[in-house]
Amino acid sequence: MAAMIKDALMGPTTTAKRKDLERDIVESSSSANYLTNDHGVKVANTDDWLKISDGTNIGPHLLEDQFAREKIMRFDHERIPERVVHARGAGAHGYFKVYDDRASKYTSAAVLTDPSRTTPVFTRFSTVQGSRGSADTVRDVRGFAVKFYTQEGNWDIVGNDIPVFFIQDSVKFPDFVHAVKPEPHNEVPQGQSAHNNFWDYVGLQPESAHMVMWVMSDRGIPRSYRMMQGFGVNTYTLTNKKGELFFVKFHWVPELGVHSMMWDEALKVCGQDPDFHRKDLYEAIDNGAPPKWKFCIQVIPQAREHEFEFDILDATKIWPEELVPLEEIGEMVLDRKPEEFFPEVEQVAFCTSHVVPGIGFSDDPLLQGRNFSYFDTQLSRLGTNWQELPINRPVCPVLNHQRDGHMRHRITAGTVNYWPNRKEVFPPVPESQGGYDTFPSKVSGMKQRVRGSKFKEHFNQAQLFFNSLAPHEKQHLINAISFELDHCDDPVVYESYTKVLNQIDFNLAKTVATNVGGVIPDTPARPNHGKKSAPLSQLYYAPKEPTIVSRRIAILVADGFSLPEVEAVRAALASAKAVCFVIGPRRGEVYPQGAERVGGKGIQADHHYEGQRSTMFDGLYIPSGEHAATLAKNGRAVHYVREAFGHCKAIGAVGEAVTFLRDVVQLPGVKIQDDLLSDDVMTSYGVVTTGSYGLKSAATDALKIGPGS
C-alpha cells in the first residue's frame, strides 16, 4: 500500500528533486497510522485538556498537560511573515528541457545546452499587491518565478508576466511598494491599485508610464496562470566556453496562448471564487493537461550594447522583437501539484542572485539591488538556514564552511570548518573544473548617484505598446484606467495622470479625462511616432491550431433536454480534453426529454445555476429538447446565457435551444452564425447554432478557442 501511494505521489515525471523531497514526505495514510506528539510519543487523548473533575463537574485546567501545551503552542506559532510583495500565490513542480545545444554559442551552462538533461523545476505564480488571503483575479502584475534544480546548483528566474517594471533603480522599490500597497491610515484597498497613492506615485514617476500601460491592459487580468507569458525582465548575461559575453533576456511563451478575463468577469470571480487561478492550475494538472511554456532568449553580443536608442540595461524598456528576435531553446512543463502548501509554496525562496556557471548579471540597476534584496528578505521570512528547507535545497551536493545559525538541520562531520585547512576539506574549485567565476570586465568612472542618459526617455515604448494593441484591447485599457482613476478621490491625482497619458496618446488622454473628470487636453503633448510591434498584442500568441484543451465548458440544462446529444457532446468534449460540467436547476438528477420526472433515468448535474455561474466557464453549450422553454422562463438560466454572452464566451446551441438563445441575446447588431459548418467561423463569430446535431461535432467546433477568440 505504502509503495502504491509513493508511486501515485511520484506523478508522471520523476525528477531528481522529487527523489530528494521524498525523504521528507510523510504519508498520512502509511502503515504507521497513529497520533504522536512532536517528539514521537503516542497520544492517548487529543480532545480533553487535563483537568480537575469529580467525574460530573469540571474544575480548572492543569498547566502540567504537556500534550495540550505543545499542541496549543505549536498552533500559536504557525504563521510566519508573509512575503512583503507577491504574498498571494500558487506553485507546482515540473521539469525543463532544452531542444538541443543551439544555445552553446552563447553559454556554457549545461542546463541551457545539454538536451539529455531533464532539470527539475518548481514554479510559483503570484499577484503583487494583495495579502496572502486576497483574491486571485484582481488587476495586478503576476509573478512568475522559476527555480531550476540544476546539477550545478540552483538557478532562479524571478520574473513577472509583464516584460518591464515600474522603476529603473531598485532603491525606489520601497517607495513604489508603499504607494501601491494599502494606504497607511486605513489599510485600504486590498488587492487593488485603484487608489490615490498608487496613481499619485506613478503620476510623479514618468518612468512608470510604460509598465502602467501593460498592467492596465488585459495582461493585468489573465484568464489563467497557464495562459500568461513570463519574462525575466532584467538584463542578465551569458558567457560561453570561448570567454565571450552576451546580454540576455529570458521569456516564457505559453502553449495555450495568452488570454485574459473580461474586467466585469474578473471582478465577479474575485467574490465567487477567490481561488480561481490556484484551482485552475491544479485542475489542469489533475486532468492530464499539464501547462507548458516554450523557453526563449533574446541575445545581444557585448559589442552591440550601445547600438540601440534605449539603454539595454533599463528594465522599463523591452527589446522589441523586430530588433532582437526571440530564439526558442527549450520548454517547461508543470505536471505535479505540491503535497502540502506551506512547506513547498510558502517556504520556497527565490533569489535573483542564484545563478550557475555560464549565466551572470549585468549592470542593470534594478537587478543589482534585487540581488541584495531577495536573500535579505528570506532571512526575516524564513530564518538563517532557509536554504536547507526541503523545497529550497539543491539536488547537487552543498559543501562549505558556512555553519550554525537558527534551525541548522545539517550535521557536517569533520574537524575543520574554515579554509584553507591542513586537510584540504572543501577546497575552492577552479573555473576550468566547474567553479563559478565572475566574468572579468573593466570598470571606470566617478562614484556618483546618477542614471544613464538614455534612461531619461520614458514615453516612446509606452506609445509603442498602446499603438500595437487591437481596437478592443485599447478599449479595455481605456476602461481600466478610467475605473482606477475613478476610485481616486483627490483631483490632484487624476488630473495629473491625465497629463501623463497625453504624453502617450492624445485620444487615450482625452477619453480617460472625459470619463474621470480630469483635465481634457486640447493638443497632444508630443507627436505619436506611429510605430507598432505585433508581439505586444495578445492576439499574436493565439495557438496556431485552435484548441479546447483544459477549457471549462458548461452544458446548461433543465428537465427535458436531449440525452443522446448531451452524451455525444460530453464524449466529444472529453476526447478534446476539455473539462465539462452539467449545470442544471439543482445539483442531482436532471431528467431528459421523455423520462419520468421522478424515478426516471436522469443524469447528474454537477452544479446548479447559482452554484457555478457562467463566469466559471470558458464556453457554454445548450442542447436541444423541450427544456428550452423551461430555461426561457427561469430568470437564473436567462441571466446565465446573457452573462456568458456579455463576457464574449463561446456559446453553442442546438435545436429548440436556438430560439431560446436568440431570444435572450437578441440585441441590435449581434451576429449569430446559424449554420456551423464553415471552418473560419470562429474568426468572426462567438455564437454558433445548428438546427440539428449533425455531421460535425457542433459543440466542440463551436467552443474551440483559436485565432480571433
- Shortest Å distance, C-beta 383 to ligand HDE: 13
| Contacting ligand HDE within 88-127 (CB under 6 A) | 89, 124, 126
Please tell me the distance from the alpha carbon of residue 407 to that of residue 411, in angstroms, as a whole number: 12
Q: Interface with ligand HDE includes 506 (CB under 6 A)?
A: no
Nearer to ligand HDE, 172 or 195 (CB): 172
CB of 419 to ligand HDE, least distance (A): 29
DSSP-assigned beta bridge partners for residue 547: 705
**Identity of residue 339:** E
Q: Which of the following is catalytic: 93, 154, 160, 354? A: 160
- How far apart CA 511 and CA 59 sit, in angstroms, is 72
377 contributes a contact to ligand HDE by CB under 6 A: yes
Cα atoms in the Cβ-side hemisphere of radius 13 Å centred on 91:
27
Which of 5, 50, 84, 379 contacts ligand HDE by CB under 6 A?
Answer: 84
* Contacts with 477 (C-beta within 8 Å, 6 or more apart), sequence order: 213, 216, 217, 218, 466, 469, 508
| Least spacing, CB of residue 450 vs ligand HDE, in Å | 18
Residue 159 touches ligand HDE, criterion: CB under 6 A: yes
Residue 369 to residue 379: CA distance in whole angstroms: 16
| Cβ-based nearer residue to ligand HDE, 155 or 173 | 173
219 binds ligand HDE (CB under 6 A): no
Q: Residue 545 and residue 707: Cα distance in Å, rounded?
A: 8
- Tell whether residue 298 is a contact of ligand HDE (CB under 6 A): no
> Out of 17, 18, 86, 278, which residue is the one contacting ligand HDE (CB under 6 A)?
86
Of 13, 190, 373, 503, the residue at the interface with ligand HDE (CB under 6 A) is 373
Q: Is 370 in the site for ligand HDE (CB under 6 A)?
A: yes
* Cell of residue 181, nine digits: 500597497
Give 345's contacts (C-beta < 8 A, 6+ positions apart). 89, 90, 91, 124, 338
Count interface residues toward ligand HDE (CB under 6 A). Answer: 27
Chosen residue from 10, 25, 323, 369 binding ligand HDE by CB under 6 A: 369
Residue 373 CB, nearest approach to ligand HDE (Å): 4
* Rounded Cα gap, residues 145 and 230, in angstroms: 9
Per the structure block, which three cell numbers stand in for 430?
577552479
Segment holding 69, helix H or strand E: helix 66-76
Q: The C-alpha cell of 429 is what?
A: 574549485
Task: Report the residue number whose CB is nearest to ligand HDE.
Answer: 143
Is 400 a catalytic site residue?
Answer: no
CA 493, 494, 499, 504 dihedral sign is positive
Q: Is 158 in the site for ligand HDE (CB under 6 A)?
A: yes
Interaction mask 23-52, ligand HDE, x per CB under 6 A: ------------------------------
CB of residue 247 to ligand HDE, shortest distance in Å? 16
Q: Quick one: which of 18, 21, 68, 83 contacts ligand HDE (CB under 6 A)? A: 83
CB-side neighbour CA atoms (13 Å) of 476? 25
Residue 86 known to be catalytic = yes
DSSP string, 176-229: HHHHHSSPTTT---SS---SHHHHHHHHH-GGGHHHHHHHHSGGGSBS-GGG--
| 374 counts as binding ligand HDE under rule CB under 6 A | yes
Query: 120, 143, 518, 623: which one contacts ligand HDE (CB under 6 A)?
Result: 143
Looking at the annotation, which residues are catalytic?
86, 160
Catalog residues that contact ligand HDE under the rule CB under 6 A: 83-86, 89, 124, 126, 143, 145, 158-160, 165, 167, 170, 173, 233-234, 315, 349-350, 366, 369-370, 373-374, 377
